[in-house]
Amino acid sequence: MDARRVELQRTVDALDATLQIARALGGETDLDLILGLVAKRGRALVSARALVIEREQDGAMLIVARAGELPKGLMGQRVDLQDSVAGAALRTLTTQRLEKGPNQARFERHGLGRRGISASAGLVVPLVFRGKGHGALIAIDRLHDGPAFSAGDQRLLEAFAASAATAIATAESMQADLRRQRLAAAEQERARWARELHDETLQNLASLRLGLAAQLRDPRLEAITDAVNETVAQLEREIGSLRALITDLRPAALDDLGAQAAIADLVERARGRGLEVDLAIDLAYEQGRESARHTTELETAIYRTVQEALNNVLKHGAARRAVIEITEDETTLRVTVRDDGQGFDPTLTTDGFGLIGMREWAELVHGTIDIDSSPGRGTTLRALFPGQRRDRPDRLAAQ
Ligand SMILES: Nc1ncnc2c1ncn2[C@@H]1O[C@H](COP(=O)(O)OP(=O)(O)O)[C@@H](O)[C@H]1O
Ligand SMILES: [Mg+2]
């Protein structure tokens, strides 16, 4: 085959690989699957001995996919962002060659070399989507005519990386959309239950109580007064717990009065259950420093975070006291919930959904949750949320 035909054939291969990714994406929202496919096809495309995908997370590079000859246990490992070759590719948004200049040393000292991978040559191609680096493809050692990759290989892998980056970003945003839909649906369902319980059950109970109380004043009923009295008291307790349940489901205060009022209400109820709670809350809108409320999504995320954290303190903490601090500056909202209880090991998995739900809310609004706890030392939960205001200034109902 002459050089042109080879070149053409490879371009067709590249298109084919790209198409496969696009097709997989059509029916697939599983990010890990997409990443795995990108690794496999990318490796085949340039006949690499191995290919690794790294993505930036919390200031480090995380190994998220792999294909080919590699040591076991790589997935989920971290690599330095600052001094690794992938870090350089991400900063400059240009392909780096492993065999060039200081890259070999970077690879060995700071990059995959530290994870037991050896490379004589390689291409580190940034995954760029909308002008932003989302990670890097690292192709190691060409199997035939290698180990260095040709300029043609580089062009191919770069073209492939461009569509792979789109595929990854799309899968990610689809995942976020799905999460958003699921959380929104659950929240709507809660609101519906809250309304129904309020409009039906609570009102019925309340009128029953009123009716009974009125009958109590009838002298003919003297004989059974005690029984009726007891029933009234029981009804009152039922009404109380139903009210609490309704507020838990979706507090009207959150929509009508905003996060601050709804959280103050949560704290009151926790105090009612015997926990000492210090609440320091300073939200810009509530204090009149901003004219627009945060989005419903963000307000709900803040509320659900505090609610679950407080529930956990009450349920698991065996704590005497909890301290809640909520502050915000121009960009960021900070929520801290600290207790002096028995603590736990946050690295252990549990079958609870509370913390998972909390993290889902945080991810939805691009926030982070950090839990600092160990047995015997209490628990501190820190959440950071980027501020996100509604388009339209909105007045809260009168408090
Ligand atoms: N403040 C806390 N103090 C002690 N343990 C906690 C605290 N918060 C969470 N935990 C532990 O973490 C686990 C997971 O919490 P979560 O996901 O909310 O599930 P659930 O509350 O349904 O058990 C709990 O079962 C508990 O062991
Ligand atoms: Mg819980």
Instruction: Find the CATH number of the domain harbouring 72.
Output: 3.30.450.40
Nearest atom, ligand 1, residue 346 CA: 12
Residues 160 and 283 occupy one common structural domain: no
* Parent domain of 120: 2-180
- Residue 171 inside a domain? The answer is yes
Element (H, E) at 260: helix 259-272
> Which atom belonging to ligand 1 lies closest to the Cα atom of 319?
3
Say if 241 falls within a structural domain: no
Domain contains 242:
no
Residues 175 and 259 in one domain: no
Q: Give the tens place of pLDDT for each residue, 52-93.
A: 999 988 888 989 999 998 888 888 888 888 888 888 899 999
Q: How far is CA 53 from CA 24, 39, 65, 125, in A?
A: 18, 7, 5, 10
pLDDT in tens, 110-155: 888 888 888 889 999 999 988 888 899 999 999 988 799 998 889 8
Give the end of a domain, one of 180, 197, 226.
180
Q: Report the alpha-carbon distance of residue 189 to residue 197 in Å, rounded.
A: 12
The count of structural domains within the chain is 2
Cβ of 190 below 6 Å from ligand 1: no
Q: Are both 142 and 12 inside the same structural domain?
A: yes
154 in the same domain as 71: yes
Point out which residues pair with 322 in neighbouring strands: 277, 339
User: Which two three-digit tokens encode residue 143?
Assistant: 């199997």
Q: Which atom of ligand 1 is nearest to the CA of 312?
A: 8
**Most ligand 1 atoms within 8 A of CB, residue of 312, 340, 370 to mutate:** 312
Pairing of strands 321-328, 276-282: parallel
324 and 278 in contact (C-beta within 8 Å)?
A: yes
The CATH number of residue 266's host domain is 3.30.565.10
For residue 358, the ligand closest to its alpha carbon is 1
Q: What is the pLDDT of residues 191-250, one digit of tens each?
A: 877 877 777 777 888 887 787 777 777 777 776 777 777 777 877 887 887 777 788 788
Same domain, 288 and 385: yes
How far is Cα 173 from Cα 184, in angstroms, rounded to an integer?
16
Q: Which residues contact 135 (CB under 8 A, 6 or more apart)?
A: 53, 54, 55, 56, 61, 64, 86, 90, 126, 127, 165, 168
